[in-house]
Structure 1
Amino acid sequence: MGDQSPPWPPHLLLVLFLFLATWRAAADAPDDRSALLEFKETTLSPAPSDWGGQDGPCINNVSKWTGVYCDKDGRVSVLRLESMNLSGTLTLDALSELPNLRSLSFSNNSLEGSIPNVTKLPNLKSIYLSMNRFAGEIPDGMFSAMLGLKVLWLSQNNFSGSIPSSLTAPKKLAELRLDGNKFEGQIPALWQPNLQLVNVSFNDLEGPIPERLSNMSASWFEGNKNLCGPPLAVSCESPKKNLSPALLVVVIVISVAALVAIVGATTFLFRRRKKEATTVNKLRSVKPETTVHLEADGMGLGTVRYHEGEKKVPKEEKLLFVGERRGTFGLQDLLRASAEVLGSGNFGSSYKAILLDGPSVVVKRFKEMNGVGREYFQEHMRRLGRLSHPNLLPLVAYYYRKEEKLLISDYIPNGSLAHMLYGNRTSRTSPLDWPTRLKIIKGVARGLAYLYEELPMLTVPHGHLKSSNVLLDLSFEPILTDYALAPVMNKAHASELMVAYKSPECAQHGKPSTKSDVWSLGILMLEILTGRFPANHLRPGRAGTDLAKWVSSVIREEWTGEVFDGTMKGTRNSEGEMLKLLRIAMACCETDVRRRCEMAAALERIEELKERESDAEFSSSAISEGEAFYSSKALTDDDFSSPKN
């Protein structure tokens, strides 16, 4: 027998097999760039000018193309092409090659034709097609396979025919907007437990409203002549037979008698109330009744003014609850409660109301929301009510009136981060040591990252992140407040008052970016590390990055620790970790939005930080971090543009 090559060892064959399998899987992986370019050529008109080139839409998790958002795996997860004057028909076939795509929005364009075929994208969680020119009937089974669909907005189009019965299939459906179309027939038997918004107003629908929707706003069903049942004040039961002449006479007699009785009762009550009013006026001169009015204007810090009498709330004006404590108290309870003014800020005044039966709550009265319509305001409040995270202060209830808006939340007794940093300057030490400050920063970053994940439709998911809007509970866990209010603020006031709108890109170009909240987070981290109030470093006509510039100048001259708050204790063997955090903060404060780090990247690096290093680690780590920070290159390190692999 001739020479034979020795057989390959089994373990080498296994390694080779795994390598080839991995290479083949990578070669066969869908190409997000090719899919989007095909979509651009076949559908988008006009197309975004920055779609193309050698680079793909995502560099790690950083988006490089307009309207494209990337997940932590560096794949396209959201397409938001709103208000771009797009026209023509919408074909989604090419997008089926995007396996991680979860959200589509083409709202407020001029797209036309029939509804795009979303059956090829069964993993979508949200679809926004409102305010276009789509028309025609929607296939009844279109949504049968979209079991994870949470949001579907088709309002203000020209859809006709029946509402698809397959909308009962998505188990997690939370928002459905079909208003302003030409749908006819009955509303499907929607049952989903997470349903918060179903708006079918101004169509041609008929029949009873499903029981699951009976507790929703009646305005969401108006404009349909033949709908009946709660929440509409239209009964679904109507007489089926004509009345006989004899019965008609009886009905008329009874009606006349009832009318006479009503007139008599009204006259009696009017005279009685007039008499009671005279008596009350006499009693008031002896012993007036006092009730706190939360809506009083011109209150300064301190105790609340008291007003004579009790303000009556019209029946149609009431608190609307969005959380679990539904209906536990009402507006009248707030007006009766004793209260104290907590503060008066740019948005309005805040009050602590001590309820007679229940815990204390905080009432914030907003004076810069007067241009927001009732329906849009209510929808946004319900969206905020569905948010749930340990580092967010939950919205309990709200009150809407054209002239004023009230937001009610729980009272947090430990006060704000700003109060802890600056409230007691008579002490030589701060109550916030390094471990506590690191804990606060981690909690703030987690809450902000959650807002980015849950509110991808907002350019600035928080919009007003600053130390006075970070509350601390009794264990110093941070709780974010005043978040996601930009959509219901007047644009002029948002630009003037909200922190994210003071980012460098707003100063340069007049509008925020999706990284404006990241800039706010960077400034907040520098504030926590340095103990310096950011406003003290602002200069007239300059964007609010001067605290970052001050830090940079101190580091370049003497990096040893002059930058850190001198009242901060618990820093032994922690300088290396503190300098790491300082680098992260500076990456978040990068003036160039393209070089500023992503929210996910900032959170990942913050989570890696420790309270302190061991003695063996400390010396070399602190020196290396200091030397890295001392070099100008470290201040603009591109590593912060994406998480580590």
Structure 2
Amino acid sequence: MAPVRIRTVFMLSLLTFSLSLSKLAFSLTENEALLKLKSSFTNAEALDDWDSRSSPCVKRWAGIICFGGLITGLHLSDFGLSGTIDIEALQQLRALRTLSLKNNSFSGQIPAFNKLGALKLLLLSHNKFSGQIPDDFFSSMASLKKVWLSNNDFTGKIPLSLMTLPHLLELHLEGNQFSGHIPTLRKPTTVTSLDLSHNKLEGEIPDSFSKFSNVSFLGNQGLCGKQLDRDCSSMVVESLPQPAAEEKKESAGSEGHTKLAIGIGALVVMGILFIATFTGRRKDKGDDFSILEKRNTR
């Protein structure tokens, strides 16, 4: 039995060692990860100094923030970048905490940034991102403190998971197409900067937003509350369905036809009554003449 056991242990150790080698083969150095990320971009001329022959922290590659020899931030704002964003490459940057892609030309659905669970700052403002964001998208990003998604073309409801981030300080969603009601903010006391203006939000502003001024909510015609000095009860009355213009026109036309019919009916009845009265009078006169005739013949 001993040789069999030894053989089994040896095989298991060999398998474990093989898996470790396989994992190492698929992992990338930070240099390789950054160059892989760069290859997913188009119009990446601003990143020409990203060179495999140098170190991103020593050479200070454009947009790279380092601390203690580790890459902690990618600040690629105003670089004219477009194309895709290689999330798998970003995952190789283990110390990455801040990511800024503001003022570029990225488009399409929001990439899987939720795979970067250690991020504290995510800035995507002034791009061309669109579509809906899943309700639970930010559930795995509990470290986030600053989220800027402003001036894109996001639609659908504001993700509930965004409002439940435990360390949230800044939230900017202005200039999108978000619709529906505003979810309640989990920790309103910690949030210092908020902007939900110029969307398609509706309903009453939750009490958890009471400390923010009207500037945070302007440009949402369906919103009501004390910040906007707009009574929610009047909004309900205004939102009741009103007859369409064509329906009103048809109703008016139908009413006109009814009045015309009543008028014609009244004229017909009056005509009948007049004829009946006139005929009755002639008959009466005829009877009178015949009586006089009879009297004269006598």
The TM-score range, normalised by the shorter chain, is: 0.5 to 0.7
1:32 aligned to 2:4? Answer: no
Where is the helix percentage greater, Structure 1 or Structure 2?
2
1:135 aligned to 2:137? Answer: no
Counterpart code for 1:106: L
1:241-280 equivalence runs, <5 A: none
1:191, distance to aligned residue in structure 2 (A):
2.2
Number of the residue aligned with 2:53: 54
CA distance in 1, matches of 2:237, 2:198: 31
1:90, distance to aligned residue in structure 2 (A):
2.9
Partner of 1:207, secondary structure, is strand
1:353-432 equivalence runs, <5 A: none
1:222-301 equivalence runs, <5 A: 222-238=218-234
Deviations along 1:362-392, whole A, 9 cap, x unmatched? xxxxxxxxxxxxxxxxxxxxxxxxxxxxxxx
Number of the residue aligned with 1:106: 101
Number of the residue aligned with 2:39: 41
Counterpart code for 1:173: L
Counterpart code for 2:53: Q
**Equivalent pair of 1:187/1:210 in contact (CA under 8 Å):** yes
Partner of 1:172, secondary structure, is coil
1:29, distance to aligned residue in structure 2 (A):
7.7
1:160-175 equivalence runs, <5 A: 160-175=155-170
Number of the residue aligned with 2:195: 199
**Equivalent pair of 2:123/2:148 in contact (CA under 8 Å):** yes
Corresponding residue to 1:208 among 204, 208, 223: 204
CA distance in 1, matches of 2:133, 2:41: 20
- Structure 1 241/56 Cα, relative in aligned 2: closer, same or farther at 3 Å? closer
User: Percent of aligned positions with the same letter in both sequences?
Assistant: 41
CA distance in 2, matches of 1:195, 1:141: 20
**Equivalent pair of 1:215/1:231 in contact (CA under 8 Å):** no
**Equivalent pair of 2:27/2:92 in contact (CA under 8 Å):** no
1:219 aligned to 2:215? Answer: yes
1:239, distance to aligned residue in structure 2 (A):
8.5
Partner of 1:223, secondary structure, is coil
CA distance in 1, matches of 2:235, 2:107: 44
**Equivalent pair of 2:40/2:84 in contact (CA under 8 Å):** no
1:548-627 equivalence runs, <5 A: none
RMSD: 2.3
Aligned residues: 214
Partner of 1:238, secondary structure, is helix
**Equivalent pair of 1:214/1:229 in contact (CA under 8 Å):** no
1:87, distance to aligned residue in structure 2 (A):
1.8
Deviations along 1:511-536, whole A, 9 cap, x unmatched? xxxxxxxxxxxxxxxxxxxxxxxxxx
CA distance in 2, matches of 1:220, 1:126: 21
Partner of 2:155, secondary structure, is strand
Counterpart code for 2:208: R
1:30, distance to aligned residue in structure 2 (A):
5.4
CA distance in 2, matches of 1:101, 1:163: 26
**Equivalent pair of 1:145/1:169 in contact (CA under 8 Å):** no
1:214, distance to aligned residue in structure 2 (A):
1.3
Bigger relative contact order (CA 8 A; separation at least 6): 2
- Structure 1 175/144 Cα, relative in aligned 2: closer, same or farther at 3 Å? same
Q: Which runs of 5+ in 2 are unaligned?
A: 1-22, 239-298
Return the TM-score normalized by structure 2: 0.67
Q: Which runs of 5+ in 1 are unaligned?
A: 1-24, 243-645
The structure having more radius of gyration, on CA atoms, is: 2
Number of the residue aligned with 1:70: 66
Counterpart code for 2:166: K
Partner of 2:226, secondary structure, is coil
CA distance in 2, matches of 1:228, 1:39: 44
Deviations along 1:423-470, whole A, 9 cap, x unmatched? xxxxxxxxxxxxxxxxxxxxxxxxxxxxxxxxxxxxxxxxxxxxxxxx
CA distance in 2, matches of 1:204, 1:172: 27
CA distance in 2, matches of 1:220, 1:83: 25
Deviations along 1:48-92, whole A, 9 cap, x unmatched? 000013222123xxx5200001012x1111101111111223332
CA distance in 2, matches of 1:42, 1:239: 48
CA distance in 1, matches of 2:234, 2:181: 18
- Structure 1 53/104 Cα, relative in aligned 2: closer, same or farther at 3 Å? same
**Equivalent pair of 1:155/1:178 in contact (CA under 8 Å):** yes
Number of the residue aligned with 2:14: none
- Structure 1 238/67 Cα, relative in aligned 2: closer, same or farther at 3 Å? same
Counterpart code for 1:201: S
- Structure 1 145/178 Cα, relative in aligned 2: closer, same or farther at 3 Å? same
CA distance in 2, matches of 1:85, 1:240: 45
- Structure 1 174/230 Cα, relative in aligned 2: closer, same or farther at 3 Å? farther
